[in-house]
Amino acid sequence: MQPGAPGGPTRDITAAEAADLSEVRHTPADVRFMQGMISHHAQALEMAALVPSRTARDDMRALALRIEISQRDEIEMMREWLEARGAQVPGEHDHHAHGDSAMPGMLTAGEMRGLTAAKGDAFDRLFLQLMIKHHEGALVMVRELFSSPRGGQEGSIFAFASDVEADQQMEIARMRALLASTGKEPQP
Amino acid sequence: MRSGIGYTVVLLALSAAVISGGGGQDRSGPAGKADPRVGLKPGFRDAGTASWNMELVSTLPKPPGFFDPKAPSGLETRPEKESKPEKESKEEKKKSPAAPGPDALDFANSDLAFRGEHLFIGNFHGFNTYDVEDPRRVRLIASVVCPGGQGDVSVHGDLLVMSVEQTRGRLDCGTQGVTGSVSAERFRGVRIFDISDVGRPRQVAAVQTCRGSHTHTLVRSPQDTRNLYIYGSGTSTVRSGEELADCVGKEPKDDPNTSLFSIDVIQVPLDAPEKARIVNRPRIFADAATGAVSGLWPGGDHGPGTQKTSATDQCHDITVFPDAGLAAGACSGNGLLLDISDPVHPVRLDAVSDHNFAYWHSATFNNDGTKVIFTDEWGGGTRPRCRAKDPATWGANAIFDIVDRKLRFGSYYKLPAPQTEIENCVAHNGSTIPVPGRDIMVQAWYQGGISVFDFTDSTNPVEIAFFDRGPVDARRLITAGHWSAYWYNYNGHIYASEIARGLDVLRLTPSEHLSRNELEAAVLVREEGFNAQEQRRVAWPASPVVARAYLDQLARSGSITPERAAGVTAALDRAGRVGSPRDGGAGALAGRLSELSRALENEAAAAAGHDAGRLRSLASTLQGIGDSLR
């Protein structure tokens, strides 16, 4: 059976009607979000890979490791999601083909070169600034998804996008704290 | 459950150095033998099972309307890549379905609630009501379609409360989702159903909230019996202020009125539930000194001069213990202890963090309200996190003692049997089992199955029973397994919701770790309802079986002399034959019980730890039995 709006009557429906979710299948915006986020995450992995050889701080290495492990696992999950729905799965480096400004928060080729060339404290500050911007871009992508027609309503993508938002907000907060401490004594 | 990724990591990073030495827990399984949970045959309906000191009494699949008829076990998700040989992975790609059906998560079974003989199983698609009067013959009474996930349910009298967080949720319970990014048809928040006609529930209220409701908690106020209170915990995206007034998704530095960093306190007038509304959004994470709403830091020290930013901006789950005026909040980056003597204005007493914890997920008090178990949902519930290589300190329970209204860490407990790459597994929902003299919990671990453990010693938890099935599929990870496993004292059984497979009913069997007397004492105090997030203290009557349960515990630990135990047993045997003061020998027996009680009190004074408490409890139980004969 199916209740009505608050105060309204409950009516009987068939099992076939009950299981009919044909209108909450994934949308083209969902697919674009997943495809775009794979490329977005891939750049975060490239950035994180620069950290171990350029920083002197253990907390920066821990941050990079955290980003690497989480975003690699998320890329795997996004690929599974796209494959299961017969959609095209972009390669990790496809963002170059789409153009550097395709996704919000993505670094330009010039910014990436600048980061690659930096060392020590200067690298730490630049990395944090750029990664905060990068993460904020992911938040913009989530908001765009949810504001698209019927975007993010299927169960898996709702849960994934919600978690991306919560997790990246959390990492932004951590990175702001790290940024405030750059140039000072490394934290224990 | 969460989608299964993000927090994975918090942990990996911060604790890479710590874990190598971590995990003191023995993983050898029962009696040190090879664990029978390893290598179980896969299958959706015919998976191999292993159980120890408990048995499956009955099992019921999900009813029609709550699965995709074309894929009853659900849409598959893949195991993590590292586990697969490259060749196999390519073959799997070719076999990927081209035209997918509904998403499996959209039909997932979730949390449970109980009232009398009725069991309510939440589902991302609505809820189902069963009659469990006879646990061997559980009967479906009503299937209620009302999508929106997670569909966690609680019951108070004739009201059933349900959490809705997904953006597809509709005020009218429709299955068609919502068109338009701003819509008056959308519903995210807490629904209230009238279940006075349990076979035909009606929606009577729907309280919209900014982040929806991932979970919720019912709170009764001793001072205010005309209202029921609900703590709504939202964890997902904040909707726009155009759809719901006053919703602000910005960070506190950009807008102090942010909808982040709070919980929703909803007041439900019991004589007019349709008037339910939000009456407070307390800032329970606020910094006491500065008033900043984001006062908590999850990942350790800031160090001097660092910025006061925080990651804890939401609670996943709150458990209240009104008998002690306390609540425990599992709040993403922290575990919180709250004073709820005024339910509308909860006050934070303590906040703890843990470098091994990825995501503070749920909380369970022990019966005395002197301990809290927090769970860590590392990997979100959809990923395999109980593999042999996963640390025993990650995705585990953390057991805390409450000392002077502060939380003090004791130890971790994690499912001791390694699971495969194709079984999603991590600590999830459970409840205590009210055995007098001990702290025991039954807990669901998704496809890790169900584990029952003793945490009387908060530094040394020990598994005493389990039930497990093989993976749903032989090759692929399909999100399934037990979401919740709760002891319901209406008839002393364990009820477990299985995400994909349905409902399982189990019972504990007597063993060296849990005697028949202890089990009989547990079912002595019958409950007429149960909500996992609303715990009540159980007080046992002065009954011979309760005394025998204490006696078994003292014998197990060797803390009572055989002579004393024989004397108590003889007196209890006599008490079984002498029922009232009018029976012959009642006076003499009452005197004998008092004498034993005094002797045990003296022995308790010389004993230490839990056994001193058990000696005292045995003494007062014997005294109580004696008093009933005078």
Answer whether B144 sits within 8 Å of A1, measured CB to CB: yes
Two tokens, residue B170: 């509709």
Looking at A174-188, B156-170, B221-235, which range is the least confident one?
Answer: A174-188
Average pLDDT, chain B: 86
Answer whether B143 sits within 8 Å of A1, measured CB to CB: yes
Residue B317's beta-bridge partner residues?
Answer: B330
What Å distances lie between residue B502 and B162, B484, B494, B511, CA to CA?
19, 12, 14, 28
Answer whether B7 sits within 8 Å of A174, measured CB to CB: no
Q: How confident is the model at residue A100 (pLDDT cuts 50, 70, 90)?
A: very low
Contact (CB, 8 A) for A92 and A129? no
Residue B58's beta-bridge partner residues?
Answer: B505
What's the pLDDT score for residue B13? 34
What's the pLDDT score for residue B303? 38
Tell me which chain A residue has its CA closest to the CA of residue B1: A159
**pLDDT 10s digits, B38-49:** 999 999 999 999
> Most B CBs within 10 Å: which of A12, A17, A21, as the mutation test of the B interface?
A21
User: Which chain B positions have a beta carbon within 8 Å of A70's beta carbon?
Assistant: 5-10, 12
Q: How far apart are CA B568 and CA B33, in angstroms?
A: 36
Strand ranges of the sheet holding B150-156, from the earlier edge strand across to the other edge = B150-156, B159-164, B189-194, B202-208
Residue linked to tokens 């589902």: B123
Answer whether A85 sits within 8 Å of B180, measured CB to CB: no
Contact (CB, 8 A) for B410 and B24? no
DSSP for residue B540: -
Angle between helices B8-19 and A58-84 (to 10 degrees): 140
Q: Residue B71, class by beta-carbon neighbours within 10 Å (0-12 exposed, 13-18 middle, 19+ buried)?
A: middle
Q: Which of A18, A162, A180 sits opposite B235 (nearest CB)?
A: A162
pLDDT higher than threshold 60 for residue B487: yes
Q: How far apart are CA B298 and CA B314, in angstroms?
A: 12
Instruction: Output B567 or B95, whichever has higher pLDDT.
Output: B567
Average pLDDT over residues A86-103: 66
Tell me which chain A residue has its CA closest to the CA of residue B16: A62
Record the pTM.
Answer: 0.87
Percentage of chain A lying above the pLDDT 70 cut: 91
Answer whether B3 sits within 8 Å of A7, measured CB to CB: no
Answer whether B303 sits within 8 Å of A5, measured CB to CB: no
Task: Give the up-direction half-sphere exposure of residue B337: CA atoms within 13 A in the CB hemisphere.
Answer: 23
pLDDT higher than threshold 90 for residue B312: no
Q: Which of B65, B77, B298 sits opposite A80 (nearest CB)?
A: B77
Contact (CB, 8 A) for B411 and B458? yes
What's the pLDDT score for residue B75? 54
Average pLDDT over residues B484-489: 96
Instruction: Output B436 or B3, whichever has higher pLDDT.
Output: B436
Two tokens, residue B103: 């998403």
Cα–Cα nearest to B240, from B300, B297, B180, B174: B180
Tell me which chain A residue has its CA closest to the CA of residue B70: A19
**pLDDT 10s digits, B196-217:** 999 999 999 999 999 999 999 9
Q: Mapping DSSP to helix (H, G, I), strand (E, B) and coil, where does residue B65 land?
A: coil
User: Which chain A positions have a beta carbon within 8 Å of B149's beta carbon?
Assistant: 155, 158
Residue linked to tokens 């040989």: B85
User: Which chain B positions have a beta carbon within 8 Å of A10's beta carbon?
Assistant: 144, 200-203
What Å distances lie between residue B413 and A24, B20, B36, B180, CA to CA?
39, 17, 19, 46
Tell me which chain A residue has its CA closest to the CA of residue B299: A174
Looking at A132-146, B23-37, B473-487, which range is the least confident one?
Answer: B23-37
**pLDDT 10s digits, B403-438:** 999 999 999 999 999 999 899 999 999 999 999 999
Answer whether B175 sits within 8 Å of A184, measured CB to CB: no
Q: How confident is the model at residue B356 (pLDDT cuts 50, 70, 90)?
A: low
pLDDT higher than threshold 90 for residue B268: yes
**pLDDT 10s digits, A22-73:** 888 889 999 999 999 999 999 999 999 999 999 999 888 888 887 887 788 7
Q: Exposure pattern of B319-347 as b/e (b: 16+ CB <10 Å)? A: bbbbbbbbbbbbbbbbbbbbebeebeebe
pLDDT higher than threshold 80 for residue B93: no
